[in-house]
Amino acid sequence: MRGLAALARRAGAARQLMVVRGGGGGPLAKPLPPSQALMEEDELIWDDGTANPEPCLDQFTQVSKYGALGWLLGGMSVFGVVGFVANASQPEKHVPWAQKVVEVPPEVANYNADGIVGGWQAKLVSNVFRECPRRVPMASGLADHAKQLLGDFSRVVVFGGAGQQLYASCKVLPGELEQLAAAFGDRDAAIQRGLHLEGRRYEVHRHHPPLVYGRSVTDCEPELSTGIAVVKVERGSSGSGSNGGGESVYIAATYEQPHTSAQALPRLQDFAQRFLAADG
């Protein structure tokens, strides 16, 4: 017991001789009070209460400014080399399909109110109003042709200029055929009235006689909206315009998603030219 007591006394004496916390009174030494005039950049030094205050702005001295500029230019040059190689390799020659070229005829290039249909509208209209190589008389099985070629359209109605119904795959309410035919008149009136079929209203988005088309906006989800298109042809005329001098015949059709106007309109115009514009 006396030996353990002597060991404890020696350990206590040694602890009293040890320097506590480096002799600074804390984990880090305190700064000395200023003994001379402050330097001009003194406000850029953050005095955190230690002997080694930090600058307010980080100082990164491992890479010089010219070295950093070299790294930046070197990295940007990689993109330049990639772009040059891609352009020199002529990627259009590696496309496995033929490029599509759309020619806009003069009679189509001035359909809108300003006299010019530009951009994708001109391409769409020119694609819709292309000539069909073969025409079939309207009286030869119109219903069968409509069911076979336009079976994926949700509603199809064919009618004459006087409002007489020639074919319908849906219920047509009184006055709707006359209203659809009147849509090819005044543009402002057509946009204000809209298009009505089977009791449903469709807003007119494009008014380019002999083509008017739009889409319903009453649905909560835009992805579930229904498109509509009405095509007017002159029966017995040689062209696709509306001034051929023959009897006017109309075809109206609605299409659901995933069908788009760019897909539906050319098919509808082809059908009208083949089966409605020819002599009966």
Domain-terminating residue out of 71, 105, 139: 105
Q: Which residues, in sequence order, are bridge partners of residue 201?
A: 196
Whether 110 is in a domain gets the answer no
For residue 42, tell me if it sits in a domain: yes
177 and 42 belong to one structural domain? no
HEC string for 197-264: ECCEEEEEEEEECCEEEEECCCCCCHHHCCEEEEEEEEECCCCCCCCCCCEEEEEEEEECCCCCHHHH
- In this structure, are 147 and 269 located in the same domain? yes
Assess whether 249 and 176 both reside in one domain.
yes
Question: What are residue 31's phi and psi, to 5 degrees?
Answer: -75, 155
> Cα separation of 119 and 140, whole Å?
38
Q: Are residues 87 and 193 in the same domain?
A: no
Q: Is residue 259 one of the residues assigned to a domain?
A: yes
Indicate the range of 36-40, 75-79, 84-88, 117-121 predicted with least confidence: 117-121
pLDDT at 212 over 90: yes
Stretch 182-206: mean pLDDT:
92
Q: Which pTM does this prediction carry?
A: 0.50
Residue listed under structure tokens 């006394």 = 9
Asked whether residue 169 carries a pLDDT value surpassing 70, the answer given is yes
Check whether residue 96 and residue 55 sit in a common domain. yes
Structure tokens at 174: 């009184």
Q: Which 3 state secondary structure label does DSSP give 254? A: strand
Residue 160, φ and ψ in degrees, nearest 5: -90, 175
- The model's pLDDT over 127-140, given as tens digits with 9 standing for 90+, comes to 444 444 344 444 45
What's the pLDDT score for residue 141? 80
Same domain, 172 and 246: yes
Residue 276's CB is within 10 A of a number of other CB atoms, namely 25
Higher pLDDT, residue 93 or 123: 93
- Joined together, the tokens standing for residue 249 give 């015949």
User: How high is the pLDDT of residue 52?
Assistant: 75
| Among the listed residues 228, 227, 272, 280, the one whose alpha carbon sits nearest the alpha carbon of residue 250 | 272
Per-residue pLDDT at 44 exceeds 60: yes
- What share of the chain in percent tops pLDDT 70? 69
Highest averaged pLDDT of the listed ranges 2-6, 111-115, 141-145: 141-145
The answer to whether 215 touches 228, Cβ cutoff 8 Å, is: yes
Domain of 80? 24-105
Amino acid (one-letter) located at 222: P
Total domains in the fold of the chain = 2
- Average pLDDT (10-34) is 62
Does 31 share its domain with 148? no
